[in-house]
């Protein structure tokens, strides 16, 4: 085996392994999100699609590792074609089924507010963390016949009236989710980029093996 062929083989195997890890991480992240936001409809379809694609990528990259180790021309081309199809599916999901973070925030805060009305504790976590008050504002408490809690004030000090948070948690949580969207997009396109590089290296590896096979036939 030439130095160039060996380099392509090692590079292909390493990239296959990385894609396998990304597939496993996608399965874990989407499964965790479905468990945490089990009552949400905003993330259900995107996360289910993410799990399906994660499983397919995980399985196909194991196939790719076997193709690289066996130095199989046919298996390498089959793997490159499968991975390319999965990349197209990923890009489609990124554009066609993005997570609606406004809806997710509204669902999350609505559920917390309903629990607040019955248990009187659920909103404090969001109010302290996101510096907000009530579902849409402090008036939610007055309208529901409740006293504004200390969690609606900066440093939980209700004696300082100007420190009252006036923004509703719906707005603050949606803003936080949208900020997180940029990180999600960066990670999504990074994975797609690595997968495209994997397809290219796998293709070059298969071509190199084909050329070596032809040279052997003419000797």
The pLDDT of residue 121 is above 70: no
Across the range 176-191, mean pLDDT stands at 79
Angle between helices 44-70 and 73-96 (to 10 degrees): 160
What is the three-class DSSP state of 122? coil
Q: How far is 182 from 180, CA to CA, in rounded Å? A: 5
Q: How far is 202 from 205, CA to CA, in rounded Å? A: 5
More confident residue, 173 or 184: 173
CATH superfamily of 103-171: Tetraspanin (1.10.1450.10)
The pLDDT of residue 2 is above 70: no
Strand partners, 153: 164
The pLDDT of residue 138 is above 60: yes
Strand partners, 164: 153
More confident residue, 2 or 169: 169
Q: How far is 75 from 81, CA to CA, in rounded Å? A: 10
Q: Whole-prediction pTM value?
A: 0.75
User: pLDDT per residue over 59-115, tens digit each?
Assistant: 999 888 888 888 888 999 999 999 999 999 999 888 877 777 788 888 888 888 888
User: pLDDT per residue over 20-65, tens digit each?
Assistant: 999 999 999 889 888 888 778 778 888 899 899 999 999 999 888 8
The pLDDT of residue 198 is above 90: yes
Could you tell me what percent of the chain has a pLDDT over 70?
95
Delimit the domains of the chain by residue range. Answer: 3-99+182-217, 103-171
């Amino acid at each position: 085996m030439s130095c160039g062929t060996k380099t392509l083989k090692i590079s292909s195997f390493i990239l296959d392994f990385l894609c396998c890890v990304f597939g496993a991480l996608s399965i874990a992240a989407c499964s965790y999100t479905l468990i945490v936001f089990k009552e949400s409809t905003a993330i259900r379809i995107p996360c289910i699609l993410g799990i399906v694609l994660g499983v397919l990528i995980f399985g196909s990259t194991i196939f790719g590792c076997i193709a690289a180790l066996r130095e199989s021309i046919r298996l390498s081309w089959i793997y490159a074609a499968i991975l390319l199809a999965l990349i197209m599916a990923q890009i489609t999901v990124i554009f066609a089924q993005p997570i609606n973070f406004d809806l997710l925030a509204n669902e999350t805060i609505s559920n917390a507010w309903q629990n607040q009305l019955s248990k009187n504790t659920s909103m404090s976590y969001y109010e302290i963390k996101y510096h907000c008050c009530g579902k849409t504002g402090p008036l939610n408490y007055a309208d529901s016949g409740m006293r504004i809690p200390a969690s609606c004030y900066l440093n939980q000090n209700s004696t300082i009236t100007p420190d009252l948070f006036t923004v509703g948690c719906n707005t603050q949580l949606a803003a936080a989710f949208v900020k997180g969207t940029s990180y999600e997009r960066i990670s999504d396109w990074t994975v797609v980029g690595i997968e495209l590089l994997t397809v290219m290296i796998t293709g070059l590896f298969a071509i190199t093996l084909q050329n070596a096979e032809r040279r052997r036939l003419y000797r």
